[in-house]
Amino acid sequence: EVAIKENLGKIITAKLHKRKPWWLPGLVPDLGWFCRTVTVTAPDGAVYNFLCFRWVKRGQTIEIREGKATKPLDDKLQYLKTLRHNELMQKQFLYYYRFKEYSKGMPHATSKICINPTARFTQISHNGVVFLYPITVIKITNFTSTFLHTCKPSTVGFFLFGFFFVKMINFSSEYIINNWNKDTFFGSQILNGINPIMIELCQEIPENMAVDKEMKLEGGRTLQEEVENKKIYKVDYKALDKVKPNEKGKHFIAAPICLLHQQLDDSLVPIAIQLFQSKSELNPVFTKQGSDSTWTLVKIWVRNSDFYVQEVSTHLQRTHLLAEVFWVAAYRQLADIHPVYKLLIPHGRYTLQINVAARKTLINENGIFDDFTGLGLKGHEELASRAFKETTYESLCLPADMQKRGVGDLKNYYYRDDAMKLWLAIQDFVKAFVNIFYESEDDVVNDSEVQAWVHEVFTEGFLENEESGVPSTLKTKDDLVEYLTMVIFTCSAQHAAVNNGQRLLGQYSENHFAETEMTRAIEGFKKRLKQIEVEIKARNKNLPFPYKYLLPSEIENSVAI
């Protein structure tokens, strides 16, 4: 806090300088100073709050503006316009925040090749992110691989495999050990596991699946009849078709189609599985009518394919990489004082650090994914490119995605139920935000920084693919609400659903807004999330295997893990 003795008039900026004390030895490292806020009280009682929330290095001078958020056209003084322009030019000039292509057909990523300690956004000094992969895990991986290649598909073999994992005991693992090979559990994992966005209503029997449409199902009805009754759903892993497996060892990649039936008790069970995409005598359709061990193995192949799609597309592409594009484009195109930038800051926390570290240790040549999965790095890149071509704006907007997949009436789909509550809560919060800072549609159209941000996301993230339906410009307040809701949902709730995050959604430890209206909006958002938490916990009490991934207390604000 700073008190001044003479009236300086209206204060619009403040400069901060961190100098080196004369007595400090030159070899002592600069640990930096994290300045949160500067409060200036004038002689007439006027109080000016300058929000900083950044690191200041030794010998560095920074200039910060008074805390109220402003859009480009809100700045009337030429000095502020020049300050804003220079800030954006400096951001875009930084090598660390330029885009580059890392893999053909994938969203472009930041040029950062290391964690730059001078580009820290929070009070926590983060010099790097380390992925822990203990030697014990590597030994387990090697043992499991050897075990599966030598073990025959028998009841004894499956029992021994379950016995091997009995050490990892808690309620979830114990429940899984006792139920993992049941059809009902298989169906529940398709619905509420870590890849819940694959399932869709089966409108007609797939032409490339040699399944008998007259096969009898529970209740005596045929498959064709149940398709017409909208009781048949499918998951299709066609993106894996003919993807070459990892050349390091003996690996195989399936590209299955799986049909599931919603039974009279509302449970969802698999009824037919074809492991590859083309009909042939060498590619039969498996049903439960065969041996138990064969049926179990076929379901394992589906889960194996689901892992690849989940990790490469659902998790990496649709949350981590898109969150990076959203954040880097925002950093480059939005001034620090812009209300949208202030809104997005919590949702970019550590995203660059985690993604840069992943490119160095997880998805690099001879990295963990390359060495320890059947897909390998080349297969990963091929799958990623294929899957991203199918990513659309509609699929990223939850209500539209649910409608397109035809899953509105699907029973026990807790991901859908919880995700929709969170989407609507975020949407209402964003509406309040937009109404505070944008009075008309023209305010959106004429916001040059927001338009530049959206356009850069379109060009660098979605590679100018107009078929994706991703907008390159926004024309109305509703457009802005939907777009910001999609961004925040992707970075928070959707990532939690496919990864299960750890920091509380809605908990803004650093409040970048000085407006009382935004304070009220944030408090209202927190109350809404607490109510959703209560509702989810009440429902979970009656479930044998509770769905917790979208508990607000389990959701990170950003892609930070």
What are the binding residues? Answer: 30, 315, 320, 495
CB neighbour list of residue 200: distance below 8 Å, 6 or more residues apart: 233, 234, 235, 236, 404, 405, 406, 407
Q: State residue 269 phi and psi, 5-degree precision.
A: -130, 150
Rounded alpha-carbon distances, angstroms, from residue 50 to 37, 64, 67, 273, 513: 6, 7, 5, 61, 10
Tokens of 150: 């030598």
Q: Where do we find the tokens 């900083």?
A: 52
Pinpoint the alpha helices (H) of 94-154.
135-150
| Strand-pair category, 2-3 with 33-41 | parallel
| Strand-pair category, 61-65 with 99-100 | unpaired
CA distance 66 to 69: 9
- Give the SS3 label for residue 474: coil
**Annotated binding site for Ca(2+): which residue ranges?**
30
Residue 494 CB neighbour total at 10 angstroms: 27
Q: Where do we find the tokens 């016995």?
A: 163
> Is the CB of residue 524 less than 8 Å from the CB of residue 314?
no
**Annotated binding site for Fe cation: which residue ranges?**
315, 320, 495
Q: State residue 437 phi and psi, 5-degree precision.
A: -105, -15
CB neighbour list of residue 539: distance below 8 Å, 6 or more residues apart: 414
Q: State residue 66 phi and psi, 5-degree precision.
A: -60, 145
CA distance 370 to 378: 8
Give the burial class of 100: count Cβ atoms within 10 A of its Cβ; 0-12 exposed, 13-18 middle, 19 or more buried: exposed
CB neighbour list of residue 366: distance below 8 Å, 6 or more residues apart: none
Q: Angle 414-437/477-489 helices, nearest 10 degrees?
A: 130
Q: State residue 55 phi and psi, 5-degree precision.
A: -90, 140
Rounded alpha-carbon distances, angstroms, from residue 187 to 262, 335, 413: 9, 47, 10
